[in-house]
Structure 1
Amino acid sequence: MALQEVIANDNVNELYSLIERDGNLLDHGSKGPFPNTPLHDAADKGQTKVAMEIATLKPSFTRKLNRGGHSPMHLALQKKHYHTARALMTLNPKLIRVRGRGGITPLHFVAREKGDNQENLELLELLAEFLSACKSSIEDLTNQCETAVHVAVRTGNTEAFKVLFEWLKQVHLIEVLDWKDQDGDTVLHIAKSKKQLEIVKLLDQYMDVNAKNFRGETALKIFQVNPSGGPDVAGSFRCEGSRERCYTPTLSLSQFSEREPTDSEKFTNSFSVQDKSNREIIIVVSTLIAGVTYQAALTPPGGYWQDSSSNSTANSSGIALGKPHEAGDIILSGSSLFIYTLSNSWAFSPRLPPSRPPLFN
């Protein structure tokens, strides 16, 4: 039985039988810069069992692009073999970030795809799973400098945008909405130019309508030149005296760093640590503090009495060291012991260092 038949039958046992006869079986035809590996074939056909075995045996195949610029996960998604794509994700979540043709990652792909009711539900579920499995995938850009949010808005995939939008709020990455593509357009520019009113309403409270793209256009200007929607949409883009909220231009990095945090930001900073590297530093420092504190509790200043005594004792300088004692008692006593114990216990109390203030409330 040939390898292609094994893949077509999704037969794992036969796969290993072939490998026993030819240890280089999977490498045949898999050399060169853009190979079509057996994993590509298995993913293209949706043969999940064989695909997972090959991916386990040859992890390097999972990231290779064929001549069409597609990785195995890209092919699985294109052929709507979502179970295969999901299986590959569980093997290595970073496969969600593999950039294929046009810089499109699997996350970009599911953000733009739409289908019938059932298929669309599965795509939205897969999108949520991708975001959960690999948070950093939201930072990946296409060759047009588009995030997955850009892609969802540009293709009119409102439901996918809602999933992305709610997730960005939950993980405190709402600033991604302000990222610009190669034309300097934010998602709000795109939503306004394509008259996607539902998306515009969602973005209204989170984005700056006065931010300019590389053509010098703001979302407000786009609306004025090409108005759409009812008064409720129009009202959100106007400043009418003190009754309407006027957006201020986006702060530069230096201005943002120098400004005083708002009360809301101070409250948020007191209860959240948003950056992964900060959390890792806190864990390391907290472990060190706990270790030192625990050791200090075991070895207090002066140590412990080595013997018992029914009389008061003094040190070599004639200073009284305490009342009668038993062997094993702490030498430190009275107010000094109280202060030491209180200070040592205080080191265990939970305190979070201030984190970087969020760009948006």
Structure 2
Amino acid sequence: MEQRLFEASQSGNIQLLHQLLAENPLLLHSLALDSAENPVHVASLADHVGFVKEILRLKPALAKEMNPDGFSPMHIASANGYLEIVGELLKVDQRLCRLKGRDQWTPLHHAARRGRVDIVREIVLACPESVEDVTVQGETALHLAVKNSQFGAVEVLVKSVTEMRKMNILDLKDKHGNTVLHLATWKKQHQVVEWLIGIGDSTPGAMEVNNVNQSGLTALDLLLLFPSEAGDREIYDTLSGAGALRAQDLVHSAIPSFDTDNQTFLNCPVASGTHQLQHPNDFIQYFKFKKGRDSPSDARTALLVVAVLVTTATFQVGLSPPTGVWQDTELKNNGTSSEPTHNAGTSILGSYNAAAFVVFVAFNSIGFSVSLYMINILTSNFPLQLELQICIIAMYCTYNTAMISIAPNNTKVFIIVFTSVLPTAVSLAAKSVRQLVMRLGEPLVNSARRFIHSN
């Protein structure tokens, strides 16, 4: 960078900047040829808001460039707590708040580590997804805030996560397998532990208190293995009240308790009055899928198994409908028989009650079609894709033929039309419903953002 431009950036001298541009109109465009640093980096470091604003007006692209140390102007301003400069940069492009620098750190990571509460609030409001970004160490902004004891930043992030219902972030683990609850317990941050446990109390199943890190330890293990006098008893009571266990007790039938002599709880003797294994209060919430705790691969496998089971069940029921099929043909009824006219192989239920048969076929076909649709999605990147598609199509054609064959004459037209258009209808309906849900959810998200900003 030219020396005079560097001095103008360092001092925030806008008049000198325009003088230099008058001498060389291509000055800002030639920076990429002779310097790895640009004026926005220098001015951001010196907190010259007016100079930054003027440079961004002349060349907005400079806001996205990294300096030799791997920092963008947004990283620099966020780390130093320069709220006005952060605001000017966000006007250029809100995606700057997710720009990854050295070690995959974003501006929010730097702001959280340094406890820049206003910056954290501003970035989360502008880009809520930034709370999910992780560094190469697998750390979220919340990990870094807890790790560096920045309680103001922790409070803002916890409130933001709660309002945006991104509870899965609480269970995300760093490269050592530690969640934010592990770190808060290890750092003896009683207040943070209470905040995190409070979310679990208000929203059952929102956070797993018994996550195990790569050392095989739960949050309660860390508390007991590294005792101190910094509020250990209060943290223990909070964790125990939320159902926290030691790792060894997750597979055994007992957990340590305090003895009647009021012996220090850190010794944790297993006395005759030991409590039995604590079970979750709400098994439905406990066994729900939690992003960050449960593997997406395992979830996909489970979904595929469920889809195959539904496909098998609905196909079998279609071939063997309720009350079975006629074994003979009766085309005329001379009044001597109570049986309706029928053909061999058609549904007995359909012959007596056409409406009930139509309802049965409709719902069974919907279940069969949706399960095949799920299998198609879950196997979309599998090898031998053509062969899989042929199998799925052949299976539905077989089912369709079977339903038409057993349908009595008075329902056959409906069954043919319904089962023929159903696969296309299922695909279109699934996409439409997802889009509708997203549109209905947007007002809630916007309300949450306004609430976060106002607080």
Fold agreement, TM-score > 0.5: yes
- The offset of 1:21, in angstroms, is 2.3
Give the aligned partner of residue 337 of structure 1.
none
Other-structure match for 2:214 = 214
**Aligned equivalents of 1:188 and 1:173: distance in 2?**
16
The match for 2:398 is: none
Stretches of structure 2 that go unaligned for 5 or more consecutive residues are 201-205, 245-274, 307-434, 442-455
Contact 2:66 2:72 in 1 (8 A): yes
Residue of structure 2 in register with 1:233 after alignment: 238
Corresponding residue for residue 4 of structure 1: 6
* Distance of 1:79 and 1:165 partners within structure 2: 22
Tell me: CA distance 1:38–1:90, structure 2 relative to 1, closer, same or farther (3 Å).
same
Shift in alpha-carbon separation, 1:88–1:219, aligned structure 2, 3 A: same
Does 2:93 correspond to 1:92?
A: yes
Higher helix share: 2
Partner Cα separation in structure 2 for residue 216 and residue 53 of structure 1: 54
Residue in 2 aligned with 1:62?
63
Q: Which amino acid aligns with 2:50?
A: K
Task: Provide TM-score, normalisation by structure 1.
Answer: 0.62
Aligned to 2:123: 130
Residue 57 to residue 244, structure 1, CA distance change in 2 (3 Å): same
Query: For the residues of structure 1 that align with 2:138 and 2:83, how far apart are their CA atoms?
Result: 26
Contact 1:197–1:229 at 8 Å: present in 2 too? Answer: no
1:50 paired to 2:51: yes
The 1:189/1:59 distance shift into structure 2, 3 A limit, reads same
Change in 2 beyond 3 A, CA 1:53/1:220: same
Distance 1:23 1:129, change over 3 A: same
2:188 aligns with one of 169, 180, 195: 195
AA aligned opposite 1:225: L
Residue 47 of structure 1: CA displacement?
Answer: 1.5
The residue that corresponds to 1:21 in the other structure is: 23
**Residue from 158, 167, 184 that aligns with 1:174:** 167
Provide the TM-score with structure 2 as the length reference: 0.50
> Equivalents in 2 of 1:250, 1:146: separation in Å?
24
8 Å contact kept, 2:112–2:144 = yes
Long gaps (5+) in structure 1: 115-122, 259-351
Who is 1:154 aligned against? 147
Give how far 1:176 is off: 1.0
CA distance in 1, matches of 2:31, 2:242: 58
Number of residue pairs aligned between Structure 1 and Structure 2: 257
1:297-344 CA-to-partner distances (Å, cap 9, x unmatched) read xxxxxxxxxxxxxxxxxxxxxxxxxxxxxxxxxxxxxxxxxxxxxxxx
Tell me the secondary structure at the aligned position of residue 195 of structure 1: coil
**In the superposition, relative to structure 1, how do residues 130 and 354 fare at CA in structure 2: closer, same or farther (>3 Å)?**
closer
1:81 and 1:166, CA in 2 relative to 1: closer, same or farther beyond 3 A?
Answer: closer
- Which letter does structure 1 place at the counterpart of 2:240? G
8 A Cα contact 1:208 1:250, kept in partner:
no
How far 1:142 sits from its partner (Å)? Answer: 1.2
Change (3 A) 1:217 1:85: same
Give identity over the alignment, percent. 29
